[in-house]
Amino acid sequence: MDGLKVCVIGAGSTYTPELIEGFIVRKKEMPVSHIALMDIDPGKLNIVGSLAKRMVEKAGINAKVELTTDRKKAVEGADFVLSQIRVGGLPARIRDEHIPLDFGVIGQETTGPGGFAKALRTIPVMLEIARDIEKFAPNAWWINFTNPSGIISETLLKHSRTNIIGLCNVPVGMTKSLATKLECQPQDLFLTYVGLNHLSWITKVCMKGDDVTKQAVKLSLKGRAKEDAEWMKINGIIPNGYLHYYYARDKVLEDQKKAEKSRGEIVTEVEAKLLAKYQNPNLRRKPKELEKRGGAHYSTAAVSLASAIYNNKRELHIVNTRNNGTIPCLPADCSIETNCVIDGRGAHPMTIGDVPLEIRGLLQAVKTYEELAVAAGVSGSKKLAFQALMAHPLVPSSTVAKGLLDAILDANKDYLPQFRLKR
Amino acid sequence: MDGLKVCVIGAGSTYTPELIEGFIVRKKEMPVSHIALMDIDPGKLNIVGSLAKRMVEKAGINAKVELTTDRKKAVEGADFVLSQIRVGGLPARIRDEHIPLDFGVIGQETTGPGGFAKALRTIPVMLEIARDIEKFAPNAWWINFTNPSGIISETLLKHSRTNIIGLCNVPVGMTKSLATKLECQPQDLFLTYVGLNHLSWITKVCMKGDDVTKQAVKLSLKGRAKEDAEWMKINGIIPNGYLHYYYARDKVLEDQKKAEKSRGEIVTEVEAKLLAKYQNPNLRRKPKELEKRGGAHYSTAAVSLASAIYNNKRELHIVNTRNNGTIPCLPADCSIETNCVIDGRGAHPMTIGDVPLEIRGLLQAVKTYEELAVAAGVSGSKKLAFQALMAHPLVPSSTVAKGLLDAILDANKDYLPQFRLKR
Amino acid sequence: MDGLKVCVIGAGSTYTPELIEGFIVRKKEMPVSHIALMDIDPGKLNIVGSLAKRMVEKAGINAKVELTTDRKKAVEGADFVLSQIRVGGLPARIRDEHIPLDFGVIGQETTGPGGFAKALRTIPVMLEIARDIEKFAPNAWWINFTNPSGIISETLLKHSRTNIIGLCNVPVGMTKSLATKLECQPQDLFLTYVGLNHLSWITKVCMKGDDVTKQAVKLSLKGRAKEDAEWMKINGIIPNGYLHYYYARDKVLEDQKKAEKSRGEIVTEVEAKLLAKYQNPNLRRKPKELEKRGGAHYSTAAVSLASAIYNNKRELHIVNTRNNGTIPCLPADCSIETNCVIDGRGAHPMTIGDVPLEIRGLLQAVKTYEELAVAAGVSGSKKLAFQALMAHPLVPSSTVAKGLLDAILDANKDYLPQFRLKR
Amino acid sequence: MDGLKVCVIGAGSTYTPELIEGFIVRKKEMPVSHIALMDIDPGKLNIVGSLAKRMVEKAGINAKVELTTDRKKAVEGADFVLSQIRVGGLPARIRDEHIPLDFGVIGQETTGPGGFAKALRTIPVMLEIARDIEKFAPNAWWINFTNPSGIISETLLKHSRTNIIGLCNVPVGMTKSLATKLECQPQDLFLTYVGLNHLSWITKVCMKGDDVTKQAVKLSLKGRAKEDAEWMKINGIIPNGYLHYYYARDKVLEDQKKAEKSRGEIVTEVEAKLLAKYQNPNLRRKPKELEKRGGAHYSTAAVSLASAIYNNKRELHIVNTRNNGTIPCLPADCSIETNCVIDGRGAHPMTIGDVPLEIRGLLQAVKTYEELAVAAGVSGSKKLAFQALMAHPLVPSSTVAKGLLDAILDANKDYLPQFRLKR
């Protein structure tokens, strides 16, 4: 068979129809002949996978859709591997959101101690996947959107020999949103995009070569929290929405303490409804409700990235990759989220140089945390894990760091083989 | 006259007898023939200066002690200028300690928004002094211990052509304390001392060439707050006492909220008693009570530094000077507090190289704040001032940063000509 | 008038028909309405300019072609300025080739002391042009192919506020040649292109994403001098042809000593014949003989670059621009010749990172020479000029450097106002 | 036994009496009780060792002097290891001086292809010594003056876990010579000493804190070759004498071609006479003729360095050690020759920062060569060996590099096990 093999790890996710739709839309430029959908949960895989089969069939694509719980088999010979796993599922996410709150710290899926716990759970599984890809699909392009995407990218860049590219839907979302506001096409815009996954800033916006930053900042104020809007007005820079956790630390904490449900609890309900919907045998397209789930643009981001590689397009995409001097005030071997030329050889960052002082300190502080989180997640060292938490700007004391670490290790003990081994 | 001229700016400070004692003790190696004591407050200058005269006379030193409120005259032809000013006096310090608390932020003289306010008040005066030294004593060695010492050093390194060396008594104090604990002489110890003024770490302790770090950390635990002790035990590093404000942010804030008096209020009382004591015409030596004031070792630090320069000693001293690649993860032109060889040419830092990850993030974040603080203090830009506060790890949101900035600018408006000019 | 104004400085050059042809070929994507051809030599300008007029007319383009010796007028309001001057003309070039030989050093137009002399003559004129552009066309894109292109680029990047991009036809030539050898289209290739103008290496060749470096090196051996071929076989890297002057220093010197005519003398003859041909009123296209002149691909390089900017194309072009961390072992503010994304905002280099050791030393040595050459050319300092020559790897001793410098300053005294002013 | 054990590797060298005298002079500060003299040549060892015994006896030092050909035994338990080997002896040196001349390249013991051949022969033996020290004297301080000292230092810094410090007598000699010229004591001088072993520059001279550079340069002109003097006058910098090979490449080559004897041949005669002299049983002190041999100050350099370590002196010595950011334009892990504070923990470089442009290019080029030479010497890769020679500024073409490499590998085949293994 001559077409491409695409493998999706964690295919039981309700996001999968997004991806399938992406491949359907781009069927002319991406001749996919084999889609291997893999998950460790056969029940969810069956529900989501059956919908995927119906969608592919309806689209008239001559591709085999295979459902499997055997990861090696799924990976073998793949041209593209897409990974979107959630170790411990939504119950673990809900714990990640609650535990920090018990210590007076913001609880969030990817930022702060919650993201750290998620990283510790996820790293061992990602390293296992890496071993499979190195063995069974050594030339595959691996597009990961498992969170925390920056930490996972850095782990795999440092500890695997795979062609890993880290992806997030935020940059695509920010670009599309700006295009709408500026009444142009996304490809008319060039964003000077600086930073890390979920810790990035757009310091300049050019439309067909003209600097429209002021206008872009002004148009972006609407709908932003007042703390972020204030920051934007003074600095003339558009921050990633996740920076709200830093620019309004006090406010977010107050709100979270008062909230009835965490985001994870809400998502659990959304998921249940979606899965029920997916089981309708007449459903043959991505349901509209999926958009509420939060993964908008993942399809666009992932499939257009794969196509840019496959077709040697030399398009610009914002992805997570090795710094390599792009931002000289960060280590050369760390991961950053940055504008890259994408071609058949992968992602090639464009030089950035000195970053503005008003973002440098937080950028360097969080990257230090991330490097320690990678080291802790790979090694299972409690010392490194403490250092990572302590290095995080949201953690207010060593007492809290210590308490949080014990609580995180205890609550996640079923998912932390690297730490078990050290006991 | 052949001897040295020493000029003290801010000589009305109750610390001055410390300095005078220092010159008396080292009279054989430092032939001082002229001590110019300058202050803008003639009352305090007269009290403190008269004691100084009695001390010098009693010591049998043939040196002229001159009291003056004319800074140019005091500086003219000086071989060493020592500066220890407090712009706004203790009332301003007390405001610095209180204003942040109103916004739920730690209030401290040198760390956080309090130190920032102090920097804004102090920078314009230090630049004026710099202009005088450039003109009237261009070859003088300028030893500054006015706080925030790191920010002031960076200001003068970047914005003057003087031979500035920044000094703090903490490194001398830490060294003496370790020597006592390890039962050796201070000069037997070599400390790998990394960081900034009031943000430093001793990552290694060597005694006559032997690595005694473990023992030193263990002996240093006693008397430290439990948050700091916890951190020290895990990391095997001895932090500067001021790191308590970072390692126990939550606890310090709670304590400060409950405290009856701020440190500035206590010091005000100590000062009043000291000044009363100084007026006793029979007092001819440094009174013991001065030690409570908090400036222990300033005399040792300052006068032994001056002597190392004058006598081309090639001694090691820990001072604030230009980074110049000592710590490669910080800008080359910023100030750091570091081990230097001191000789007739001044301070020459010893290479440090990569710093441990567990301290890097905070180090880089605070240095970013300091660079912005210098820029704000020199320019009087409200934008830069907001950026500085926002970059500080203790400030929890842009709303707080904005509120704090307005409060600081308002409370200090009599001392901020650089901002007035911009209105 | 709505179309673009293009200004050519040094339009009396025989290369000009190349450029005109380029604009004719791309008339649909570049709506040029005004071509200002400027030269200080009215005779040559008239010959070349008349041919240009006939070419434009024949192509049916509705554009005004203006011939002028008034540079300010030519520049005013231009959208694109192209500069291709030769200060001192071919006689100066011939001197540049001969003087070094008198001192036992390779004589070459752009490499070594010959290129240095050319830089000294050219820098003052380029700075004058810069002043005009800053004043009369501040938003213009300035594409320079005046040699030595790297040194001129660095001069203008450091000492002007213009949108300067340095261009050379070698990268386009190498790419086209490789495409022919590999039987693909130039745009199918991605070259990892590292270095400076006339001092560059292709360390990797990818064809539609596949690494074809070995094959490309092998195919490139044919036609190369044996010294270069030897080097290529061992290192697996394709060097710029100008590296022959370094890889075969001894051989080139012997050959030059024996040569009857220098390249400049040959070119003088070619030029005369070309100009004679241009005067034929029936000639309405670029004559074939122009290809012998050595400027093949200049048209492609320059006009396609202008079009990429005008049309915000995001194409990759290899140009001379500010390093900005692309090659971390070189200063951030120096010029390099490197792969850039070209869009409406100009040239944006792609990160390179560590360069192979086998090229690093020479790269750093020649860049040091170039920085000194820029400083000498701008300042007119004899000390800096000596340092520049002494820093050049082809200069074998301080005696030779001194002798060369005197000879160069003397022979070019009519063209070195910056040095005259210092006498 | 309580005293120190000192081990000398290569003790059959005629330099050994220098070292013995050094330990005699410093007997009060260095309580040596055991001197192990090791050499692979029992004949020379016996002659030199017997003299050493007589010298120690005459000095009334209660130390065991042991002669041995068993390196492990000699090293075992040593506090200080001093190494001064010459692999292949003087015959190999003479070849190193002659082979390059055959290819029109300067032939020199440590600079250029001659030094490269010496490095290839020496590296395998030094790595064997390193293995012994790691096993039998892991805490020993290893002071090496085997040439090429910079390359050997870098090899051992990168490929051993020993406390290696590289030493050369040139810095001590330059300091003493300057002190004589400036009529002061060596310790009154502070030299800003920048560069590599045999490739260094004194860019500033301070006497008791006063900048006396101009005077020092002027006084240093006398006795220097005219090419070097010219360079010095223009640049105001004092170069290491070995820079003559770069500043007068053409002249040196001419002179060498005409010379009747190479330096190695002259030294062979000096050595024979010295050894004859040493055999006189009445000789009990270092003979004056030793000074002609060229190793003046080695004793001072080596024994005062050992004493600074043993006595935790915090003295400044210029040694070869890890760069670690001292010179930011060179890699952090390379060796440099630089001013260090010497104490019980070893050598701690003082920050240098940016180096003057007029020395930067050559410095970077030669360091690139050195890194390749280390890699070639350790790996036995012919490709790396070619790259090293090709990177050397004195090698004029790839043809010459290839010819030289073949000649060097052939002439030294008995001493290059690392290359033999690859055949």
In this predicted model, what pLDDT tens digit does every residue of A339-396 receive, in sequence order? 999 999 999 999 999 999 999 999 999 999 999 999 999 999 999 999 999 999 999 9
Please check whether residue A169 is in contact with residue A145, taking contact to mean a CB–CB distance below 8 angstroms.
yes
Nearest to C117 by CA among C94, C136, C138: C94
- In terms of Cβ atoms closer than 10 Å to its own Cβ (0-12, 13-18, 19+), residue B47 is buried
Asked if residue B1 has pLDDT above 70, the reply is no
The CA distance from A55 to A25, in Å, is 11
* Annotated catalytic residue within C193, C242, C310, C369: C242
Q: What is the pLDDT of residue B115?
A: 98
Q: What are C122-162's pLDDT values in tens digits?
A: 999 999 999 999 999 999 999 999 999 999 999 999 999 99
Which CATH fold topology does A4-166+262-298 show? Rossmann fold (3.40.50)
Q: What are D322-344's pLDDT values in tens digits?
A: 999 999 999 999 999 999 999 99
Grouping H, G, I as helix, E, B as strand and the rest as coil, residue C286 is: coil
Asked if residue B421 has pLDDT above 60, the reply is no
| Residue to substitute from A336, A351, A352, A355, interface C, most C β-carbons within 10 A | A351
Range scoring the smallest mean pLDDT among C362-376, D39-53, D173-187, D273-287 = D273-287
Cα D261 from chain centre: 23
Q: A258 vs chain C: nearest CA distance in angstroms?
A: 46
Q: Class for domain B4-168, per CATH?
A: alpha beta
- Phi, psi of B50, rounded to the nearest 5 degrees: -65, -45
Which H helix or E strand runs over A81? Answer: strand A80-83
Q: What is the pLDDT of residue D113?
A: 98
Q: What is the pLDDT of residue B393?
A: 97
Asked if residue A204 has pLDDT above 90, the reply is yes
Token pair belonging to D327: 């010179």
Instruction: Give chain D's mean pLDDT.
Output: 95
Token pair belonging to D415: 């001493």
3-state SS, one letter per residue, for A361-393? HHHHHHHHHHHHHHHHHHHCCHHHHHHHHHHCC
Q: B163 vs chain D: nearest CA distance in angstroms?
A: 13
Would D4-168+272-310 and D171-261+314-349 be classified into the same CATH topology? no
Nearest to A271 by CA among A27, A36, A4, A43: A43
| Residue to substitute from B191, B313, B351, B355, interface D, most D β-carbons within 10 A | B351
Say which residues have a Cβ less than 8 Å from residue A194's Cβ, sequence separation at least 6.
A200, A201, A202, A203, A327, A338, A352, A355, A359, A363
For D142-166, give the DSSP string.
EEE--SSHHHHHHHHHHH--SEEEE
Q: What are D223-265's pLDDT values in tens digits?
A: 999 999 999 999 999 999 999 999 999 999 999 999 999 999 9
Q: Let me know the angle formed at the C-alpha of C3 by C1 and C4, rounded to the nearest 5 degrees.
A: 120
Hey, is the C-beta of C397 within 8 angstroms of any chain D C-beta?
yes
Q: Which residues of D touch C102 (CB under 8 A)?
A: none
Cα C220 from chain centre: 23
Q: Alpha-carbon Rg of chain A, whole angstroms?
A: 21
Instruction: Give chain C's mean pLDDT.
Output: 95
Please check whether residue A395 is in contact with residue A408, taking contact to mean a CB–CB distance below 8 angstroms.
no
- List the single residue in C372, C386, C398 with the smallest CB-CB distance to D227: C398
Q: What is the pLDDT of residue C423?
A: 44
3+ Cβ–Cβ pairs closer than 8 Å linking B and A: yes
Q: D206 vs chain B: nearest CA distance in angstroms?
A: 8
Hey, is the C-beta of B352 within 8 angstroms of any chain D C-beta?
yes
Grouping H, G, I as helix, E, B as strand and the rest as coil, residue B203 is: strand
In this prediction, residues B163-179 reach a mean pLDDT of 96
Reported confidence tier of residue A286, pLDDT bands at 50, 70, 90: confident
- One-letter amino acid of A30: M
Q: What is the CATH number of domain C4-166?
A: 3.40.50.720
Q: What is the CATH number of domain D4-168+272-310?
A: 3.40.50.720
Q: What are C74-110's pLDDT values in tens digits?
A: 999 999 999 999 999 999 999 999 999 999 999 999 9
- One-letter amino acid of D162: T
Hey, is the C-beta of A101 within 8 angstroms of any chain B C-beta?
no
The CA distance from B46 to B82, in Å, is 18
Task: Give the Cβ contact number of residue C219 at 10 Å.
Answer: 17
Q: What is the pLDDT of residue B294?
A: 67
The CA distance from C346 to C341, in Å, is 8
Asked if residue D350 has pLDDT above 60, the reply is yes
Q: Any bridge partners for residue B322, and if so which?
A: B335
Q: Which residues of C touch D402 (CB under 8 A)?
A: 230
Hey, is the C-beta of D226 within 8 angstroms of any chain C C-beta?
yes
In this prediction, residues B335-343 reach a mean pLDDT of 97
H-type alpha helices, C357-420: 357-379, 382-391, 398-411, 417-420
The CA distance from A39 to B164, in Å, is 65
Contact across the interface for D398 and C357, Cβ inside 8 Å: no
Q: What is the pLDDT of residue A294?
A: 67
Name the residue with tokens 């005013």.
Answer: C76
Q: What are B248-280's pLDDT values in tens digits?
A: 999 999 999 999 999 999 999 989 999 999 999
Domain residue extents for chain B = 4-168, 369-420
Beta strands in B70-181 (DSSP E): 80-83, 141-144, 163-166
Contact across the interface for D357 and C247, Cβ inside 8 Å: no
Hey, is the C-beta of B360 within 8 angstroms of any chain A C-beta?
yes
Reported confidence tier of residue B97, pLDDT bands at 50, 70, 90: very high
The dihedral through the CA atoms of A70, A74, A77, A78 has a sign that is: negative
Hey, is the C-beta of D101 within 8 angstroms of any chain C C-beta?
no
- One-letter amino acid of A253: L
Contact across the interface for A326 and C209, Cβ inside 8 Å: no
**What percent of chain A has pLDDT above 70?**
98
Q: What is the pLDDT of residue C172?
A: 94
In this prediction, residues C165-188 reach a mean pLDDT of 96
The CA distance from D349 to D327, in Å, is 10
Asked if residue D421 has pLDDT above 60, the reply is no
Q: What is the pLDDT of residue B422?
A: 47
The CA distance from A293 to A271, in Å, is 8
The CA distance from A344 to D131, in Å, is 47
- List the single residue in B371, B387, B400 with the smallest CB-CB distance to A250: B400
Task: Give the Cβ contact number of residue C43 at 10 Å.
Answer: 10
Instruction: Give chain B's mean pLDDT.
Output: 95
For A264-320, give the DSSP string.
HHHHHHHHHHHHHHHT-TT--S--GGGGGGT-TTHHHHHHHHHHHHHTT--EEEEEE
Q: Side by side, which strands form the sheet with C4-9?
A: C64-68, C32-38, C4-9, C80-83, C141-144, C163-166, C315-322, C335-343, C346-349
Asked if residue B158 has pLDDT above 50, the reply is yes
- Paired sense of beta strands D210-211 and B141-144, if any: unpaired
Range scoring the smallest mean pLDDT among A61-75, A167-181, B152-166, D292-306 = D292-306
Q: B230 vs chain A: nearest CA distance in angstroms?
A: 7
Q: What is the pLDDT of residue D174?
A: 96
Hey, is the C-beta of B329 within 8 angstroms of any chain D C-beta?
no
Please check whether residue B194 is in contact with residue B200, taking contact to mean a CB–CB distance below 8 angstroms.
yes
The CA distance from A4 to A79, in Å, is 6
Hey, is the C-beta of B175 within 8 angstroms of any chain D C-beta?
no
Grouping H, G, I as helix, E, B as strand and the rest as coil, residue D58 is: helix
Q: B188 vs chain D: nearest CA distance in angstroms?
A: 8
Asked if residue B160 has pLDDT above 90, the reply is yes
Reported confidence tier of residue D291, pLDDT bands at 50, 70, 90: confident
For C221-257, give the DSSP string.
HTTS-HHHHHHHHHH--EE-GGGHHHHBHHHHHHHHH
Q: What is the CATH number of domain D171-261+314-349?
A: 3.90.110.10
| Residue to substitute from B362, B384, B398, B402, interface A, most A β-carbons within 10 A | B398
Q: Is B245 a catalytic residue?
A: no
Q: What is the pLDDT of residue C3?
A: 93
Q: Any bridge partners for residue B65, and if so which?
A: B35
ipTM above 0.90, yes or no: yes
Contact across the interface for C227 and D398, Cβ inside 8 Å: yes
The CA distance from B359 to A317, in Å, is 34
- In terms of Cβ atoms closer than 10 Å to its own Cβ (0-12, 13-18, 19+), residue D59 is middle
Please check whether residue C328 is in contact with residue A175, taking contact to mean a CB–CB distance below 8 angstroms.
no
Q: What is the pLDDT of residue D207?
A: 96
Please check whether residue B387 is in contact with residue B90, taking contact to mean a CB–CB distance below 8 angstroms.
no
